[in-house]
Amino acid sequence: MPRFIYWVLNLSALVVGRSVVECSSKPPAFLLAGDSTTAPDGGWGDGLLATLKKPAWGVNIGKSGATTASFLAGGYWANVTQQVKDNVEKYDSYVTISFGHNDQKSTSGVTFEQYQENLIKFAGEIKSLGGKPLLTSSLTRRVFPSGQDHNATDSLHDQRLAAIAAAKATNSTIIDLNEASLEYIDAIGKEAAQEYNYGEDMSDTTHLNPHGCVVFGRMVADLIIRAESCVERYFTPNQTLSDLIWSDLPA
């Protein structure tokens, strides 16, 4: 089924479902926990936050170079949980949890099992504080094998599965950004995908330039709306951009 048709059918299902979904009277706050692919200057996080409408708000707590372990040890996770504690009475706190790029490195000091356990721990703690964890699988790298313009390397496959498993283990929402972003760059092809690359020479295929931040921030926003229909009214729509993304066209 083409992604655009799937997107329309999915939205239709949400519209039907709204009659039975009880939405909170509290506006949402979005707290973004993750590595550099979430963080300001290179990640999708600020692109997501730019789509919010007041009284919703958010803060990007992504940290460049972070693993799940260093994010915890460095006090960044404590910042996330404190934000949830401080705002739980007035806001529904949605916490995106997106790691994997650095955890998977052989030099990270984090085993795959520890990575999985940390995701579960993070999600469980947010739920215990009254927040809503959004386990967000890792943004794909835009790397293509030589001579293959529509077959991007699935370099974060296991990390995606870990995020899905953590969501299931904690009965949390999965935001499958890895699947969506990999399918998207596969569809638009290598040349178009490189237009989102970071750096003056646009050679960084992991991080995002400002335009890429907007495009993939929109993708995450749409995925969140798809999974959590009650928050849709707090996002500024960009139908033109959404249509391009979900029709697998360069944006």
Give the C-alpha separation, 246 to 4, whole Å: 5
> What pLDDT, on a 0 to 100 scale, did the predictor assign at position 6?
46
- Residue 175, beta-bridge partner list: 136
> What pLDDT, on a 0 to 100 scale, did the predictor assign at position 2?
52
Question: How many helices (H) and strands (E) would you count in the chain?
Answer: 10, 7
User: Token pair 């967000």 is at which residue?
Assistant: 136
> What pLDDT, on a 0 to 100 scale, did the predictor assign at position 14?
42
* pLDDT greater than 50 at residue 110: yes
Give the C-alpha separation, 22 to 236, whole Å: 22
Give residue-wise pLDDT tens across range 36-72. Answer: 999 999 999 999 999 999 999 999 999 999 999 999 9
pLDDT band (50, 70, 90) for residue 3: low
Q: Which amino acid type is present at position 186?
A: D
Give the C-alpha separation, 136 to 180, whole Å: 11
Residue 234: DSSP 8-state: G
Q: Which two tokens stand for residue 80?
A: 């996330």
Query: pTM of the prediction?
Result: 0.93
The torsion of the CA quartet 25, 219, 251, 8, rounded to 10 degrees, works out to -70
Check if the beta carbon of residue 29 is closer than 8 Å to that of residue 58. yes
> What pLDDT, on a 0 to 100 scale, did the predictor assign at position 9?
46
Region of residue 74 (phi > 0: left; psi between -120 and 50: alpha; otherwise: beta): alpha
> Quick one: average pLDDT of 100-127?
98
Give residue-wise pLDDT tens across range 132-188. Answer: 999 999 999 999 999 999 999 999 999 999 999 999 999 999 999 999 999 999 999
> What pLDDT, on a 0 to 100 scale, did the predictor assign at position 22?
87
Determine whether domain 3-9+27-246 maps to CATH 3.40.50.1110. yes
Assess whether the previous peptide bond of 2 is cis (omega < 30° from 0): no
> What pLDDT, on a 0 to 100 scale, did the predictor assign at position 16?
40
> What pLDDT, on a 0 to 100 scale, did the predictor assign at position 209?
98
Check if the beta carbon of residue 133 is closer than 8 Å to that of residue 126. yes
pLDDT band (50, 70, 90) for residue 19: very low
* Start-end of H helices in the chain: 3-17, 45-49, 68-73, 76-87, 112-128, 157-170, 177-188, 190-193, 210-227, 239-246
Check if the beta carbon of residue 154 is closer than 8 Å to that of residue 182. yes
**Lowest-confidence pick of 6-10, 33-37, 72-76, 128-132:** 6-10
* pLDDT greater than 80 at residue 15: no
Give the C-alpha separation, 92 to 79, whole Å: 17
Give the C-alpha separation, 114 to 2, whole Å: 37
Q: Which two tokens stand for residue 200?
A: 């003056």
- Residue 59, beta-bridge partner list: 31
Q: 217 or 15, which is more confident? A: 217
pLDDT, averaged across the chain:
93
Q: Would strands 173-175 and 132-136 be described as parallel, antiparallel, or unpaired? A: parallel
pLDDT band (50, 70, 90) for residue 78: very high
- Residue 97, beta-bridge partner list: 33, 135
